Amino acid sequence: MQLRSSLTILFAGITGCILLICSLAIYLLSAQFREHDFEDRLTKKIDATARLYVDIEEVDARLLRIIQQQELGKLPNEQIQIFSLNGDEVYRSDEIKYFDVPLAFISEVAKSDESHSKIKNFEVFGKKYQGESGTFIVIAGGYDKFGLSKLRYLRNVLIIVTLGGILIFFLSGWFYTGRALSPISRVISQAEQMTPDNLGARLNEGNGNDELARMARTFNNLLDRIEASFILQKTFVANASHELRTPLTIITGQLEVVLMREREASDYKATIESVLEDIKRLNIISNTLLLLAQAEKERTDIVVSRIQVDELLWMMKSDLTKNHASYQISVQFKKTPEHENDFTIEGNEHLLRTAIMNVAENACKFSDDKKAEIILDYNETNVSILVINQGKGIPEEELKLIFQPFFRSKTVTQQPGHGLGLAMVDKIIKLHHGEIEVESVLNSFTKFTLRLPRLKN
């Protein structure tokens, strides 16, 4: 069932139940009022009859019957009877007997002074009356023709109003739910028109204030992330294919050339050495791509442990200077630690070591003197690693692009590289809920700041 139909039925059902309860209450209260009103009229008949018959000696049964027959307010099928305490009838207002009064009812009135009952279609009320001439049971009954007729009319009106009201509620609910859900229908229509070819399309956020606008805004934010991921994936695949194809093409060309004719051993050796360099380049690219893919994982998918950042920096410095003898790295502390855990973080040691080493290696590689300065600092929430070098720097317009895969600054195109390192560093730092910032001045310096959440003591 569609949402519009279910909401309309729910709206009509709720309002219909409320209307039905109100109508039923009106009918029951009206019926109760009619019953009490008719009982009050019977009580007045009893009191008037008793006063005339019991208290006034000059009025006998014949005279009383004449008086009552001439009464203007006589009830339809009215019957008034007077009984002695032993149940003998001493008076009846009309020769026609409309109903028989059971002896049990007379006894009940005698015991409780008054009582109400229904005999066939007649409503009967009895009352014990004590006068100068004795004690009598006066019983009056009749058929409330006009009251019951009005009650039936009210019942029919309430039934018609209730059914008509439910129908009106259903139609108005169908109309207004259609208007209320029309923005959702528009959102669905817009979403159905979105394809991979027009990922830039966005949903209309309407007035920007209600829940539908928030839903559209949330969906648009999701589309922004999907579009960015889709573009990044396309760019990554294109650039990765290009980076992998170039060394493979070189290797293929070299092997084809060397196999065209017999050559000296020295020629074969030179070709093998060249191919080996290209294979090493392929290994570096593939390993970097694997690390980049690993950095894309959720934090819950990687193995984490307690890491002392200062110890990690010393090990990184040792490995880097061992592989590159010309590199010079200095590690300094901005302030002396007060506790053992001041430089303690939680994360994956291999990934963090790779990220910091990549930044330090770039700092040495792209500086004129092959030197990099690393400053370690901490505060209550973070451990900060500052990597500074003196070199050509990075143009301001490229600072926002350096973390994209395969992007290389125009100032370092003459240096070997693949443009994957900083992208990998950015992913690793974000994977550890940290942040990375870069500051650079052309022909002066470049400073990378890596902040990682500090493990609480």
Residue 58, pLDDT score = 46
Strand order in the sheet with 328-333: 328-333, 371-378, 382-390, 445-453, 435-441
Q: Strand 382-390 vs strand 371-378: parallel, antiparallel, or unpaired?
A: antiparallel
Angle, helices 211-258/265-295, rounded to nearest 10 degrees: 170
Q: In the CATH scheme, what architecture does the domain 211-295 have?
A: Orthogonal Bundle (1.10)
Q: What distances in angstroms separate CA 287 from CA 240, 417, 421, one per listed residue?
A: 12, 13, 11
Q: Domain 3-150 carries which CATH code? A: 3.30.450.20
Give rounded-to-5 percent helix, strand, coil for the chain. 55, 20, 25
Exposure of 328 in the CB half-sphere (CA atoms within 13 A): 7
Q: Give the position of tokens 């009064």.
A: 101
Give the domain ranges of the chain: 3-150, 211-295, 300-453
Whole-angstrom Cα distance, residue 278 to residue 389? 29
Q: Domain 300-453 carries which CATH code? A: 3.30.565.10
Q: How many residues are there in the chain?
A: 457
pLDDT in tens, 243-287: 567 678 878 888 888 888 888 888 888 888 888 877 877 776 676
**Planar angle of CA 218, 190, 216, nearest 5 degrees:** 15
**Contact (Cβ atoms closer than 8 angstroms) between residue 292 and residue 285:** no
**Planar angle of CA 60, 65, 67, nearest 5 degrees:** 95
Residue 374, pLDDT score = 93
- Tell me the chain's radius of gyration from C-alpha atoms: 51
Whole-angstrom Cα distance, residue 330 to residue 375? 8
Helical segments of 259-295, H only = 265-295
Query: What residues in the chain have per-residue pLDDT under 50?
Result: 58-59, 72
Whole-angstrom Cα distance, residue 131 to residue 237? 115
For residue 439, the cross-strand partners are 447
Residue 444, pLDDT score = 86
